[in-house]
Structures are given as structure tokens and as C-alpha cells.
Structure 1
Amino acid sequence: MIEAELKARVADPDALHAVLGAAAGTPERATYRDAYYDRDGALTVGGRELRVRTVTTEDVARTVLTFKGPVLDEATGSKAEAETRIADPAAIAAILEGLGYAPFIAFTKQCANYRISTPAGRKVLATVVRVPELDGTFLEVETMVEDEAEMTAALDDLRALLLDLEIGPAALTTELYTEAVAAARAHVD
């Protein structure tokens, strides 16, 4: 599967929440605790990601292991993705570390998840994101597609959705949270 995704910086988070709430109802509020693993920087240099994420909502906590391949679309940063649930987060950390992978960065995201559709009817997860260590608010809109042949249409649908949300192309960013958090921490040190 490929995660077709666009990310934008949000100028007015309250207005965005109002528009998304009108379209999708009450969001699922969640805290994401992300730990990214690598071995000698090989994954990062190749544009790949290995992440353990624990998502905590009001009702439940679940942990997933995600591998993202290299970027397939430079303009958006969209990547192929494989993800699976983890029953025992401590065990997966031990397995990864036993294989020579080590966490190189971990951080928390505060998220509001809205399930909506594009004007063309494509199902989308729209997530309003705050990373406490970073300035500003982000919107991620993503949909899954089977292969690269579907990606252009999916990204076009996501762009149309963003325009409906009054978020223009100038707000789009391919900035990675991992790099932004690392830079913010380096600035503090």
C-alpha cells in the first residue's frame, strides 16, 4: 500500500477545527508517542523509516510498527507503507534492538483525527497535529492507494480537499517531524 499524503502548516487552527467538525463531527483526540529506529543511519539516508507508535485515546492505547519505503513523490513526500499492530511494545523494542536497530529520536504529537471524504468521494484521514516541541499547527490529509498508478489521482483529490478547507498550495510542506524536532532540540542545547 502507498500512503498518499499532503501536509500543510495551518494559519488558523480554530477555524480549521470548526470546518472539519462540521464535515465529520467530533474528532478522535489522541496522543501519538513515536520512536524512530535506525541502524548506523542506513534507513534515514535511504529515505526510509522504521517507527514504533503508541496511540492513546480516551478509550484505548494501541501500538503499531510501521515501515515506510523511500519517497515515491518528491513534491509530497508520499511513501509506500507497511504497518501492523503490536501486542507487546517492550518485546518489539527488544527485538529491534537485538537486530541492531536503536531509537534515534522519539517525540509526542497531539492529534485530532477526522474521517472525511474528498469532493470526489475518496476516504481520507485528516489529522490536525501539534508537536509540543515545534511552533505551529499542521494538517495531514492522507489516503491509502494500492499502487503508484493511483497516486496522482489521490494526490489531486487531496489537493482539492485542502482547497475546500481554504488551505492553498503555499501552506504545503514536506518538512519531516523527525528533522524539525531534532533541529529544535539542537537549538536548545
Structure 2
Amino acid sequence: MYRDTYYDRPDGSLEKAGEELRVRTVHGADETRSLTYKGAAVDEDSGSKPEHETRVEDAEVAHAILRGLGHVELIAFEKRCRNYCFEERGRAMLATLVRVPEIDGTFLEVETLVDEDEVTAALGDVRAVLAELGIAPEDLTRETYTGAVAAQRRR
């Protein structure tokens, strides 16, 4: 189970710019905690964002640092994920099946890490993998978990 907490500046400027700042705790056999910054989308069709992540020793300290720097909690929620690592088209890829208790459906994410100059080619490879799995372009969404959870909570 993942516990994700997203932060923003009080003026909402990160969200307005399409950026994200997250503290994640993965509960499991080997509990991990990480701090992640996602930049604005580099691909309009997929919404793919550059991601910078580092492990943190103590999630509560990471939360305290972000609050101390003036960030405010935007939203927090749980995700249930199952990760599968594989290699395809010469790339290490990660497929994640995701369920978020607050929203309907099971989601599939396929990711690969690349340098900025490889984004277009890598996205083509990810799209090819999705097509091989029978997932058509019209099945894809740019909706974020944060947006879907927030919409559900407003109902």
C-alpha cells in the first residue's frame, strides 16, 4: 500500500504550473519513503512528466521540512499497487496495476526512465507496449489520481 501526500504553495502555484511535490510511504515487507518532485508535462498527449525522486529516512521529517518551508498539504490518499519490472524494446520498464479505494477502476501505468533527449522515442515504446496489451489510445487518460480523488471528495 502506498500513502501519498501532495503539497503545494499556499497560492496553489505548483498545481497551476502542472508540477507536483509528494511524500510517499510504501508499506510492505521493505517499507520505503520518498520525496518526489514532478515537473510540468513534457508530452501533451500523455501528460508524461519529468520526475526527480529520492529516498528519505523518515517521512515525518520530510513532511515537517515541507511545512516549515511554507508548503501546505494539498491532498493525501492511499493507493494499492502491484509492480512488475520487465524489459521491452531494449528498455527497463515498470508496469503498475493501481487501485485507489476512493475511485472506481483498476489502472495500468507503464513507465521507463530516460534522459530528456530520449522522451519521444521512449513514449513511442511505451505506447507500443500498451498496444500489444490491447490498450487502445482511446483507453488512455490524462486524469491524475489527485484530480480524481479530489473530485470524488467534492461529491
Aligned length: 154
Deviation at 1:64? 0.2
1:70 partner amino acid: A
- Counterpart of 2:95? 126
SS at match of 2:6: strand
Q: Give the alignment of 1:9-158 within 5 angstroms.
A: 31-39=1-9, 40-57=11-28, 59-118=29-88, 120-147=89-116, 149-158=117-126
Distance in 1 of aligned mates of 2:27 and 2:87 = 24
Identity within the alignment, % = 56
Q: Root-mean-square deviation (CA), in Å?
A: 0.9
TM-score (norm 1): 0.79
- Counterpart of 2:138? 170
Distance in 2 of aligned mates of 1:143 and 1:164 = 16
- Runs of at least 5 residues in structure 1 that lack an aligned partner in the other structure: 1-30
Distance in 1 of aligned mates of 2:142 and 2:86 = 22
- Runs of at least 5 residues in structure 2 that lack an aligned partner in the other structure: none
Distance in 1 of aligned mates of 2:153 and 2:85 = 33
Distance in 1 of aligned mates of 2:85 and 2:130 = 14
TM-score (norm 2): 0.96
Deviation at 1:167? 1.1
SS at match of 2:39: strand
1:160 partner amino acid: A
Deviation at 1:121? 2.4
Distance in 1 of aligned mates of 2:50 and 2:138 = 25
Deviation at 1:62? 0.6
- Counterpart of 2:149? 181
Moved over 2 A (4+): none
2:111 partner amino acid: E
Distance in 1 of aligned mates of 2:26 and 2:149 = 19
